[in-house]
Amino acid sequence: CSISGYGPDGPWSKLPGYDVVIAGTHGLMSITGSPDAPAKVGVAMTDIVTGTLAHGAILAALYDRAAHPEKAGQRVDLSLMESQLACLSTTAAGALNSTPGTPPPGRRGTAHESIAPY
Residues designated catalytic: 47
Rounded (10°) angle between helices 80-87 and 45-67: 100
Rounded (10°) angle between helices 80-87 and 89-96: 60
- Other beta carbons within 10 angstroms of residue 5's beta carbon come to 19
Of 46, 42, 10, which Cα lies nearest the Cα of 25?
46
- Other beta carbons within 10 angstroms of residue 46's beta carbon come to 26
